[in-house]
Amino acid sequence: MKKNKSVLLSAPYILWMLAFTLIPLGVVGYYALTDPETHVFSLGNLKELGMYLPVLGQSAMYSLVSALICLLLGYPVAYYIAHRGPVAQKILYMLVMLPMCMSFLLRTLAWVGLLQDTGIINNILEAIGIGRLQLIRTPGAVILGMVYNYLPYMILPLYATLVKLDHRLIEAAEDLGCTPAKTFVKVILPLSVPGIFSGITMVFVPAVSTFYISQKLGGTDTVLIGDLIERLFKQGDNPNLGAALSLVLMLLVFICTGIMNGFGADEEGGVIV
Amino acid sequence: MKKANRILTVLMFIFLYIPMVVLIVASFNTSQDITKFEGFTLRQYAELFRDEDLLRLLGNSVLIALLSTAISVAFGTAAAVGIHRLKPKMRKVVMNLTNIPMTNPDIVTGVSLSLLFVFVGTRLLGQRESLTFWTLLIAHVTFGLPYVILNVMPKLQQMDGSLTDAAMDLGCTPVKAFFKVILHEILPGIVSGGIMTFTMSLDDFVISYFVTGSGFVTLPVEIYTYTKKPIQNKVYAMFTLLFLLIFVLMVAMNLLQLRANRKRETMRSVSKGGAIFRRCAAGFAAACVLAGCCFLAFGNKQDKIILNVKNWGMNMADGSDGTLDIVKAFEEKYPNIKVNMSYYESNETLYSQLKNGGISVDVIIPSDYMIDRMRQEGMLEKLNFDNIPNFQYVDEQFKNPDYDPNNEYSVPYTWGTVGILYNTKYVDPADVTGWELLWNEDYAGKILMIDNSRDAFGIAQYLLGYSVNTEDREELQACADKLAEQKPLVQQYVMDQIYSIMENEEAWIAPYYAGDCMLMMEENEDLAFFLPQEQGFNLFTDAMCIPTCCKEKDAAEKFINFLTDPEISGANMDYICYASPISAARDYMEDYLAESEIVYPSEEILANGTAYKYLTKETTRYVEGLYQSATKTADAEGPNWIPYAIGGAVLLGLAVTLPVIRRRKKTQ
């Protein structure tokens, strides 16, 4: 009797999630397939999408590159943290978490102050005689902004995988004559694959849809799909085209995460505090 | 190897913390400019605690975070217990549903929720305001719930099922068994889920940005509009304090956990530091209940009328630099009205915010052509001029304008011109001949361009010698080509962000509205204003209107009347540096402004100016499309092939290596 009753506890939740995640996506679909003026069915919005494909490609590439840079930077750091004592681990873990809790808008704005032509870095470069460089409004600046903002999202899942790694396996590999490099390639790396993929997903998804980082750190050429969607909703007065672009973005993200999940972890989310 | 790792870790932490150091230093800086440290001061902190608006926004954020966490935790825990009992197949389906908001990009979640709320609220139910506190709360609960579920589910799965059975065998009711046994076991999951929901909700910008109406705004959303205007250092002070607070909280939590762990090790007790978790959870629950009570006690007890005003940024005297604080003066005169000011960047932004629906606004101040459009589309409310006796002071030439022929919908607020602001330190006077300055390759990368389709097309039309009100597609296409040609030279497309960029000399040339240019010239004396008289320029009128989505028409008319008082108008112009449509106001203005050629150009100069007229709907949409594709899309060719090449190589690499790794994983 009890079992039946407690199953019912999930019903309000399922209804809630249907009402506020699935149905809204249906509404997005409805907007995407109707004409902005007449509200009748139309494929006009989808036809217009072709024009924005380069932007979509550019967004995907920027965020993929950022995710890989995060992986290259984050892996050694996660590895280092995972091999400290318990107290040091806690402190380092907290220091990685802390920036995530602070306003990313202001932190990105601080990068503008650092990178701009009259900014802090350029003032220093000028003072030591190197001269000013074009740092901001380059693709590099956008990628830097993404790496900066989402690096913790890479480190945390990697750390969670690496800290669970069974030390006896490494010892066994070494006993059997593996060099450290070989141990890494043969044992550690394959075992951390789930962490790698969950990290890449967690960096890729927010990066591909960002609109603030590219607005502040990018130039006139670094327009990302998030910028377009934001403009269409907030300024361009064309929510229907914006809805169509949102659908495309969602599709891209689901395909990418689907691939990642296929290769990577079977566990859910990979988020652990 | 180890050494390299350590160095890299240190470098990474420096990288993560440098921007935060910059912000913290800025909070003690006497200079407004984040890049120049001029002296140490605590003034920003004192100002922060005097700034009611900022504190209210922070309160709003905390309130939403506490309430949404409390709801998500209670709702999510119950749901997790239910899901745990579901048949495996069904459980998988529900968990996939749970994963949707986790995997979906925030922007899509925000857009979809805002469309849902507007669709249901405005289109189906016909409400004036469908984006409210409650919809924001729903949105936050929706993205909070999965965090709770995903943290609680593993704990339920780890739990020994026979414990519940034992409890029930010993005579517990299912509810009692839950509170005595299950809750105890899954508490760590609940607490970590709750903490995550709380921090996510407190710092959420993207989803809130799309779901926020005009009435209830949280701090991150307001910070976004702050970062478009000249940012005030007290925001940095707030950042520093929040940083300290979170730091202390995190340290405290870690210490508690460490202590709990140690206790567990020594006592070998089964309880997983339960006491401490329980205490934390109880404290948090108390905070939530308190917040809920406060909200019920004070949130709904607003006996004041809230007047929602939407204005351009920097377009009303706010009491800084010794000017009159207009809103405060109004609230003193009408103590039962509270003005809630929010901002828009351009006429087009305002239009789409109102058109997309969901928000309720009482007073707006659009420009001429936009008033015409809104009037024709039935978006404006007719004014009751009996409530606006000060309308008599408005100059005859501003009454019954083209955009409002019978003067039923609008009361003029300011008028002005669009010209070019340039920095005399870097720009050769010989180059300052006309609009072509904005296309001068010598200044590539130092040119800003105005970020709205109408003004941008207007500039191209003046340059090419077309009428600014042309509907000829060929001419419009030529303008779009001209703007596309300009794009490589443009540093940024800006509206209100122009202030800091021009004042800090990050850019040298920008077209903008005369009044704002005056404000910037006061801050940086190397700046100068040029009006291309021979080619022509835009002459605009901004006027106050009441949109149909208004809720407080009487109060709105009082506010409009107040602003039309010559003395108030004069005091207002002292701050915003525009010309008043009320001649009598000129007497109350500071002399240097009242006599300025920039603020009040002579009749013969004005003869060269033209006003924008509202074009047909088709043309407006066509122009908007041209503008987007000319200025806002990435070039498929050019330097952008680099990320493509890298990305392609990466994909290729993944395609080759992944199957190998996967095969290896399988064989293990």
* Segment A131-144 mean pLDDT: 91
Q: Mutation test of the interface with chain A: which of B7, B108, B633, choosing the one with the most A Cβ atoms within 10 A?
A: B108
| CA nearest to A253, candidates A213, A226, A219 | A226
* CA B24 – CA A102 distance, rounded (Å): 12
For residue B122, give its domain range: 46-299
Computed over every residue of chain B, the mean pLDDT equals 87
Instruction: Give the chain B residue whose CA is nearest to the CA of A180.
Output: B1
Structure tokens at B98: 């749970």
- Percent of chain B whose pLDDT exceeds 90: 55
**Distance from the A173 Cα atom to the nearest Cα atom in chain B, whole angstroms:** 14
* A193-214: pLDDT as tens digits: 889 988 998 999 999 999 899 9
Q: Of A18-32, A231-245, B217-231, which range is least confident?
A: B217-231
Q: Indicate whether B368 pLDDT > 60.
A: yes
Mean pLDDT along residues B116-141? 90
CA distances from A21 to B138, B503, B613 (A): 11, 45, 43
Q: What's the pLDDT tens digit per position in B512-525? A: 999 999 999 998 99
What is the predicted pLDDT for the residue at B257? 77
Residues B143, B184 within the same domain: yes
| Among the listed residues B193, B185, B187, the one whose alpha carbon sits nearest the alpha carbon of residue B76 | B193
Q: Does domain A53-263 have CATH number 3.40.350.10?
A: no
Cα A148 to Cα A40, A152, A197: the distances in Å are 44, 8, 19
What pLDDT is attached to residue B184? 81
DSSP, residue by residue, B391-436: GGGS-GGGSS-TTSTT--S-EEEEEEEEEEEEETTTS-GGG-SSGG
Q: Is residue B192 over pLDDT 70?
A: yes
Is B302's pLDDT higher than 50? yes
B4-20 pLDDT tens trace: 888 999 999 999 999 99
> Residue B636 has what pLDDT?
47
Assigned domain for B422 exists: no
Of A106-110, A148-152, B247-251, the poorest mean pLDDT is in: B247-251
- Least trusted range by pLDDT, from B41-45, B110-114, B560-564: B41-45
Q: What is the CATH number of the domain that holds B246?
A: 1.10.3720.10
Average pLDDT taken over every residue of chain A: 87
Sign of CA dihedral B511, B512, B517, B523: negative
Give the list of residues 6+ apart from residue A80 with CB closer than 8 angstroms, or none: B2, B5, B6, B8, B9
- B91, B158: one domain: yes
Q: Do B353 and A24 touch (CB under 8 A)?
A: no
Q: Which member of B20, B109, B487 has the closest CB to residue A107?
A: B20
Taking residues B130-140, what's their average pLDDT? 92
The whole-number pLDDT of residue B580 equals 95
Among A20-24, A56-60, B420-424, B543-547, where is mean pLDDT lowest? A56-60
Q: pLDDT by residue (tens digit) across B450-486?
A: 999 999 999 999 999 999 999 999 999 999 999 999 9
B85 → closest Cβ in A6, A22, A105 = A6
User: In this model, does residue A267 exceed pLDDT 50?
Assistant: no
Is residue B262 pLDDT above 50, yes or no? yes
Residue B115's H or E segment, with its range, is: helix B106-118
| pLDDT value, residue A260 | 76
Q: Nearest-CA distance from A7 to chain B in Å?
A: 4
Residue A269's pLDDT is 40
Cβ–Cβ < 8 Å for B369, B403: yes
Question: Could you say which DSSP state residue B436 is in?
Answer: G
- Distance (Å, rounded) from C-alpha B549 to C-alpha B355? 10
DSSP annotation of B44 reads H
Residues B168 and B270 in one domain: yes
More confident residue, B420 or B269: B420
Closest chain B residue to the Cα of A21, Cα to Cα: B101
Beta bridge partners of B412: B543
Q: Are residues B27 and B161 in the same domain?
A: no
Q: How confident is the model at residue A35 (pLDDT cuts 50, 70, 90)?
A: confident
Burial class (CB in 10 A: 0-12, 13-18, 19+), B224: middle
- A3, A4, A16, A20: best to mutate for the B interface, most B CBs within 10 A: A20
Q: Give the integer Cα–Cα distance in Å for B210 and B120.
A: 16
* CB contact (8 A) between residue A268 and residue B174: no
Q: What angle do CA A161, A166, A169 make, to 5 degrees?
A: 125
**B664, A250 contact by CB (below 8 A):** no
Minimum-distance CB partner of A80 among B6, B112, B351: B6
Name the minimum distance, in Å, from the CA of B335 to any CA of chain A: 34
Q: Do B506 and A117 touch (CB under 8 A)?
A: yes
| Lowest-confidence segment of B294-308, B486-500, B559-573, B600-614 by average pLDDT | B294-308
Q: Mean pLDDT, to the nearest integer, of A69-92? A: 92
What is the predicted pLDDT for the residue at B268? 45
Task: Name the pLDDT band for B487 (thresholds 50, 70, 90).
Answer: very high
Do B10 and B55 fall within a single domain?
no
pLDDT of residue B16: 94
Flag if A221 and B638 touch (Cβ within 8 Å): yes
Q: State the smallest CA–CA distance between residue A32 and chain B in angstroms.
A: 11
Of residues B12, B23, B491, nearest to A137 (C-beta): B491
Q: A124-133 — which CB contacts under 8 Å span 24+ positions?
A: none
Neighboring chain A residues of B621 at a CB cutoff of 8 Å: 238
Please list the residues that pair with B344 across neighbouring strands: B312
Minimal CA separation from A153 to chain B, in Å: 12
d(CA B397, CA A273): 66
- Residue B77 and residue B29 in one domain: no
Position B645 confidence tier, pLDDT thresholds 50, 70, 90: low
How many CB atoms are closer than 10 A to CB A178? Answer: 16
Tell me, yes or no, whether B33 and B67 share the same domain: no
- Indicate the number of domains in chain B: 3
Examine the pLDDT at B642 and tell me if it is beyond 60. no
| Cross-chain residue pair A139–B640, CB shorter than 8 Å | yes
What is the interface size between A and B, counted as CB pairs within 8 Å?
Answer: 349
Report helix angle B347-356 to B453-464, nearest 10.
140
B179 and B246 assigned to the same domain = yes
Residue bearing the bigger pLDDT, B500 or B483: B483
Residue A273 pLDDT exceeds 60: no
Nearest residue to A21 via CA among B278, B142, B117: B142
Q: Which of B143-147, B148-152, B537-541, B658-662 has the lowest mean pLDDT?
A: B658-662
- CA distance linking residue B579 with residue B563, whole number of Å: 14
Strands B411-423 and B509-513: antiparallel
pLDDT tier, B269 (very low <50, low <70, confident <90, very high otherwise): very low
What pLDDT, in 10s, does the model give residues B17-76? Answer: 999 999 999 999 988 888 888 889 998 899 889 888 888 888 899 899 999 999 999 999
Q: B273: left (phi > 0), else alpha (psi -120 to 50), else beta? A: left
pLDDT at B276: 61
Is residue A266 scored above 50 in pLDDT? no
- Examine residue B181 and state whether it is found in any structural domain, yes or no: yes
Instruction: Give the pLDDT score at B638.
Output: 42
Provide the pLDDT for residue A51: 78
Given a cut of 70, whether residue B648 has pLDDT beyond it is: no
Q: Are strands B447-450 and B490-494 parallel, antiparallel or unpaired?
A: parallel
**Most confident stretch, A43-47, A60-64, B339-343, B440-444:** B440-444
Interatomic CA distance for residues A168 and A180, integer angstroms? 14
| Whether the predicted pLDDT of B283 surpasses 80 | no
Q: Do B144 and B286 belong together in one domain?
A: yes
This prediction has a pTM of 0.89
Interface touch B147/A271, C-beta < 8 Å: yes
Mean pLDDT of A118-124: 91
Q: Give the pLDDT band of residue B655 (cuts 50, 70, 90).
A: low
Pairwise CB contact (< 8 Å): B20 & A8: no
Is B227 in contact with A23 (Cβ distance < 8 A)?
no
